[in-house]
Amino acid sequence: MRPVTAAPKGVLAPGAAAQRFRLGRYLPAEDLAAVVEHYWVVAWDLTGQPPYIQRTLPYPAVNLVFERGRTAIYGPMHGIFAYELQGAGRVLGIRFRPAGFRALLGAPLTTLVDRTLDLAAVFGTAAEGAEAAVLAAEDDAGMVAVAEPLVRQRLMDVPATVVEINRLVALVEADRDILRVDDLVARCGLGVRALQRLFADLVGMTPKWVIRRARLHEAAHRLGQGEAVDLTTLAQDLGYFDHAHFTQDFKQVIGQSPSAYREACARKNDSGDSQE
């Protein structure tokens, strides 16, 4: 398997997280790359230690998660995702591209926002025994090898619109000059209403939300690494009118002001204290 080399974004307090669990990420087979972004494996052993609550800032994507007794399809989420790690265990996740799961679901992604589905609702009888088979594999590669055919047997043709919207969401993440919907419209040749309809159907979120979430991902990533960046400059770089609007937006989603989050990450990086 080919590992993902880019640093993960969305894992809050990354320094403390790295001390509590192992995160492995792997690229999909070529025939699934149009819909699957990567596979991820979280493994931990906290035997004899207090539980650890890991918080993540989700990006607009569906995740299919294999976990003992809790295997499910997780739709795109507006808020923070918090998960308690205790004892020892491991989880395999399939993170789909932002519009990728639409090709499997057969329904608008708005129907899956902030919801979870049982595997059988999408994969039918093929889901039977999938959890046990995946988690019985010896290593990361083995789990992926068991899970991949489940996606492959469901996937038919990938519509051109899915490919295009995935490209636009990737462009939002990569191009920091895209700060408003009009900026994205100028790069794609679609009108605002057409773009909004496609995002609602294929991603489940609005273009404005996707742009805003990408910028908050960038902010949380940079602050979580302990960068000594001026917060006013950071707010301007991310397209906010001023520092106050950036702080309000960041706190509303993350639960802390940018400065408080950076300080908390610095402390946890040093001590490994669990999140509250």
Record the pTM. Answer: 0.93
For the chain, the residue count is: 276
pLDDT at 237: 87
Is residue 271's pLDDT more than 80? no
Q: Which residue has the tokens 């995160």?
A: 23
* CA 60 and chain centroid, separation: 7
Q: Are 268 and 71 in contact (CB under 8 A)?
A: no
Q: Where in the chain is the domain with CATH 1.10.10.60?
A: 160-271
Class of CATH domain 160-271:
mainly alpha
DSSP classification of residue 196: H
Is residue 272's pLDDT more than 70? no
Please choose, from the candidates 30, 18, 37, the residue with its C-alpha nearest in 3D space to the C-alpha of residue 170.
Answer: 37
Task: Write b or e for each residue in 86-110: b if 16 or more Cβ atoms lie within 10 A of its Cβ, otherwise e.
Answer: eeeebbbbbbbbbbbbbbbbeeebe
Give the whole-number percent of the chain exceeding pLDDT 70: 97
What does the pLDDT look like over 202-227, one tens digit per residue? Answer: 999 999 999 999 999 999 999 998 77
Residue type, 15: G
What does the pLDDT look like over 57-93, one tens digit per residue? Answer: 999 999 999 999 999 999 999 999 999 999 999 999 9
pLDDT at 275: 41
What does the pLDDT look like over 6-59, one tens digit per residue? Answer: 888 899 999 999 999 999 999 999 999 999 999 999 999 999 999 999 999 999
